[in-house]
Structure 1
Amino acid sequence: MKIIEPSFKILDNYFVQGKVLEQIERSGRICYKSEDKITKNSAAPFIKRIIQRGHESVLEMAYFVFEVEVDSETIMYKFLEKNPRFNQIDKHGKKKYLMSGNPRSFRDLARIAPEQKVVKSLLHELTQKYPVLYEDLRPKHGWLLPDGVRVRMLSPKEIDALPLDLFVKHRTVLVHLVINRAVSHELVRHRPASYLQESQRYCRYGEEKFGSEVQFIRPCFFKEGTPEFETWKKTMEDAERAYLSLLATSSPQAARTVLPNSCKTEIMVNATLSEWAHILRLRTSKAADPSMREIMLMLLPEMARRFPKVFGPIKEALESED
């Protein structure tokens, strides 16, 4: 048994460097704790297998932003009639729009509205740039460019230079959190956002790669050395003992049924800055669950340092309450 502290890491380097496939692989491998299998050329084969298995939630761990220009507003109106609910769309000038979404959302568009001019233009661009993400959806003669629509993918620098009202809607941040299962259960209720989580179904904690032990997050409720902490600790030891005993004769998904909320879990969260602002505003409140508040109070200062215009006011408001 190992007791660890909650922690976080902002994984923004992939966005800055434009490493879309690498970001998806890094996030996806958290589920199986197979990060040790990442190599220089492992991203594309990993993603191809994920798509073949239909596990497209992994594809939500990146984000594309497009400038879409149309000759006639009717073209965009017809596209909007298809209810592209998983994409963020904003007016960006006369007959110009900003449109963003994760790779999965554009795959969904290819399936529900392949005849739409906007969709054809987007998929033509995406298939050229990231064939592994879209080649399986390619029509027999490819995505033929229609008249009247021009699309352009924005670079990371262009996204970061957007006006603040658009920046917070179209800029995402990927965060790797190490928390307990109770906190993760609350966190995944936030929308719009995308999540990938360490899977107790597949991770066999009795193996050497996990130290042949179960990890638990230190509870913020009990001070070490108190009777309450000792009760908690003994309960975790008993749970670990039961888990390892069951694991000797059962599958991880069967053995995990005895694991408690205090179990360590790792979760990737990909959300827009506006959603992160909502999460941090809500979860740093004194009314928030103490364990959730603990990790969010750790995260807020770093988010404020990186994006002061977005998170600075939240940090200042919180400090003024103390």
Structure 2
Amino acid sequence: MKFIEPQVEWWQQTTLAQHIARVGRICYKAKGKQPEEGMTEEEVKTFIQKRDEERCKGFWESGHRSMFRHGTVYFFMPNERGLPNHIWAYLEASPYINYATKNHKVWFSTNTQFALEHEDIMNALSQYGVSEDEFIEKALKYECEEAFSIIRMTLVVTTQISTSRELNRTSPNSIAEQSTRYCNLEKKGGVQIARPHWHVEGSRWQRMVYGLVCRVCEWGYNRLLKSGLKPQDARGVLPLDTYTVVAYTYTLSDWSHILDLRFHGKTGTPHPNAKMIGEKIRNIIIERMRQYCDEFDI
């Protein structure tokens, strides 16, 4: 058993297939097939794209479509009159597509699952598709601050299982979490504990008892696996501080709501482990967005 430190990473989308496949592999603690040695840079790029497109096809055909919620597509419409009224009525009612307007110009963001499952909506918007950089460029050019609130960011959190549950409860359900059902932790680096907030400053006695209990749980988990029990059943003895990795993809508006609860504590004092993760999330978002808005805060 070993301790690992809680952390947060921003995974910026490159291509849709690579992003969705990368997030999806979190669930199985998998790396995916690797390029062969000696490949040129262009061959590696082609190999990875093809590999990830096949992985995405597998997700879609098997019904594991929630992974597509982590892919983001953006649109910019120079004039809101470009859409018929019935499309606008649908967009108003749907919680899965976000938009901001200023001076009849419209910015849209949505997830790839919604896009693929609503062909009629996407056909109406397809001519207005833009990259994330172009989306931001238009928001800056036309000074539409509201458009920044619908930028989507994938943040990947390494934390305790108990803390991920607190984040999951406040989230709009675009979640990809490492599975203790399908991942055999003994074969995937062993049982690892995400160091809790109190551990460094805890007493020697507290650390000793805590470490002993965690090791007993690890021993029990490994023995149950060796006896033939499946990981999905052996996981019942794992401590709540066992580490997990979770990807969340939300708009900055959604992230603001999550931070209100798990960092700012607007409805009650957040758990210190959750607050620690909340601070890391907040710092990453602020560092990114202050490139565009000097006074951005969340």
Q: Same fold (TM over 0.5)?
A: yes
**Pairing partner for 2:246 from 267, 274, 292:** 267
Following TM superposition, by how much is the alpha carbon of 1:228 offset from its aligned partner in structure 2, in angstroms? Answer: 1.7
Q: Where does residue 28 of structure 2 map in the other structure?
A: 32
Q: Where does residue 134 of structure 1 map in the other structure?
A: none
Distance 2:251 2:34 in 1: 26
Following TM superposition, by how much is the alpha carbon of 1:33 offset from its aligned partner in structure 2, in angstroms? Answer: 0.9
Size of the aligned set, in residue pairs, is 272
Letter in 2 for 1:104: Q
Give the secondary structure class of the aligned counterpart of 2:118. Answer: helix
Following TM superposition, by how much is the alpha carbon of 1:188 offset from its aligned partner in structure 2, in angstroms? Answer: 1.1
TM-score, L = length of structure 2: 0.82
Distance 2:114 2:29 in 1: 26
**Structure 2 unaligned regions, length at least 5:** 36-47
Distance 1:78 1:178, change over 3 A: closer
Following TM superposition, by how much is the alpha carbon of 1:219 offset from its aligned partner in structure 2, in angstroms? Answer: 1.6
Q: Where does residue 156 of structure 1 map in the other structure?
A: 132
Following TM superposition, by how much is the alpha carbon of 1:186 offset from its aligned partner in structure 2, in angstroms? Answer: 0.8
Q: Where does residue 219 of structure 1 map in the other structure?
A: 196
Distance 2:32 2:118 in 1: 34
Is the aligned partner of 1:87 residue 2:70?
Answer: no
Q: Where does residue 116 of structure 2 map in the other structure?
A: 107
Q: Where does residue 284 of structure 2 map in the other structure?
A: 302
Cα deviation per residue 1:59-107 (whole Å; 9 max; x = unaligned)?
Answer: 01111112355456534345448x333111344544x543321011123
Distance 2:89 2:156 in 1: 38
Query: Once superposed, what is the RMSD of the aligned Cα atoms?
Result: 2.4
Following TM superposition, by how much is the alpha carbon of 1:187 offset from its aligned partner in structure 2, in angstroms? Answer: 0.5
Whether contact under 8 Å (2:99, 2:147) holds in the other structure is: no
**Structure 1 unaligned regions, length at least 5:** 126-150, 315-322
Distance 1:230 1:36 in 2: 38
Cα deviation per residue 1:176-235 (whole Å; 9 max; x = unaligned)?
Answer: 11100011001112243511000111111121xx23x20011121243552122221111
Cα deviation per residue 1:18-64 (whole Å; 9 max; x = unaligned)?
Answer: 41211111101011011243552311000000011001110011111
Whether contact under 8 Å (1:277, 1:310) holds in the other structure is: no
Distance 2:147 2:99 in 1: 12
**Pairing partner for 1:74 from 85, 94, 97:** 85
Identity %: 25
Distance 1:194 1:78, change over 3 A: closer
Whether contact under 8 Å (2:155, 2:281) holds in the other structure is: no
